[in-house]
Amino acid sequence: NWLVLMDAWTSPIEGKPGTSTYSPRLFISKIGSGIWDTLEPPTKAYVKTLYADSLGIYVGTYNSEVIEYNPEKKEWTNLNVKSSKDSLWYHIYGIHRFGGKLIVSMAGYDEILGYHAKVFLQNNSGWQELQIPRVRKDIYNESLTDPLYFVDAIELGKNLYVCTIDGVWKLDGSTLSWTELPKFPKMRWNSDNYDVYAVQDLIVYKDNLIAVDGTNDRVYQWDGANNWVALDSVITPTRITADGDTSYFTYNNSLLHISDIATDGKHLFISGDNPCPKVYMGDYGEPYGNILKGWRKIKLGWCKEGEGCVSTNATYSLDIIGDTIYAAAWEGLFKMPLSDLDTAIAGEKDYREIE
């Protein structure tokens, strides 16, 4: 029933003329009302993350706070995730739902302890701290690690899959133990065994786990066994150069700098470094059939022939609410009825032109 937005506002830093810090603002609107109200959490800390689902609206701050907002009652409740005995400073990176309960990922830095992180799962008596593994953070040295923290996550079956700075990890719903999934395929020449692949986003699409490789801007589908299958890239045969290095030639048909991925259950959408989103054509169906590794731009509502696009640079957050797709850009929030999708992609190319 509600739309909630977090913008990219910045504020001046006190005592440091000419400098500013990230201080996003929150806005809320009842769907169909056309009226936006400002949300002001009861905290002096800046907002770090926003999570909303059918059960509530949740805000994470730079000061270890997770605060719930009830839009019907217009009431805020501090969920007191971090223990008052913990004197360390944390940023709230991720808030998600797992098994009907909230799960929170927080991390911070201390000059003596270095990077530290915690993951809490809500239970009937409060919050349970989960044991977390360490993940690689350096592209050349596997011994350099940080404790696991995540921004995005998705539940599939009885497990939670999370995005980390180095690959996808699975939290088992029965044992609450962590397992690292195999790495994404290597796409860069002269890559070694310990390349770090940051995960940009995860989603469940037609009962399959879909991941965005944030290092190489590619979209993969997990086969449930040991392989990530690229949905958007065509790879030519490997070439061995004179000095023995292995080179890969990869043509990516989705978007560069992928920001977000979303689905209405029938189609897969992405946003990124383009004025308009794209839709996956690999299993689109009628009236266009299925075009393996194809992606088409959605220009209707965003772009007009001879006039350009209302979003001039990139699209960021994507959401499907009911029968409407919403896309956020610097210029504002845009929407399009999903019933217009067939028309919106008519005449668009399935593959990027290769120069």
pLDDT-derived band of residue 240, with 50, 70 and 90 as boundaries? low
Q: Judge whether residue 141 has pLDDT over 90.
A: no
Please, what is the end-to-end C-alpha distance for the chain in angstroms? 45
- From the list 209, 308, 201, the residue with the least C-alpha distance to 254 is 201
Q: Judge whether residue 194 has pLDDT over 60.
A: no
Chain centre to alpha carbon of residue 51: 12
Q: What is the pLDDT of residues 144-166, one digit of tens each?
A: 888 999 999 999 999 999 999 88
- Residue 9: CB partners within 8 Å, gap ≥ 6? 22, 23, 24, 25
Q: Three-class SS of residue 338? A: helix
Output the furthest CA–CA distance in the chain (Å, rounded). Answer: 69
- From the list 244, 196, 239, the residue with the least C-alpha distance to 216 is 196
Q: How far is CA 326 from CA 152, 315, 323, 338, in A?
A: 19, 10, 10, 10
Regarding beta strands 239-240 and 303-304, do their DSSP bridges make them parallel or antiparallel, or are they unpaired? unpaired
Amino acid in position 124: N
pLDDT-derived band of residue 355, with 50, 70 and 90 as boundaries? very low
Q: The tokens of 103 are what?
A: 């799960």
Lowest mean pLDDT segment, chosen from 34-38, 86-90, 235-239: 235-239
Is the CB of residue 109 less than 8 Å from the CB of residue 117?
A: no
H or E, element range at 177:
none
Q: What is the pLDDT of residues 64-92, one digit of tens each?
A: 999 999 999 999 999 999 988 888 999 99
Predicted TM-score of the model (pTM): 0.90
Number of neighbours of residue 331 by Cβ within 10 angstroms = 13
Is the CB of residue 99 less than 8 Å from the CB of residue 82?
A: no
Q: What is the pLDDT of residues 286-330, one digit of tens each?
A: 999 999 999 999 987 677 766 677 777 788 999 999 999 999 988
Amino acid in position 221: Q
Amino acid in position 251: Y
Q: Does 287 sit behind a cis peptide bond, omega within 30 degrees of 0 on the bond before it?
A: yes
Q: Going edge to edge, which strands form the sheet with 37-39? A: 2-6, 26-30, 37-39
Looking from the CA of 134 toward its CB, the CA atoms found within 13 Å total: 10
Please, what's the b/e burial string for 2-37 (b: 16 or more CB within 10 A of its CB; e: otherwise)? ebbbbeeeeeeeeeeeeeeeebbebebbeeeeeeee
- From the list 250, 275, 265, the residue with the least C-alpha distance to 330 is 275
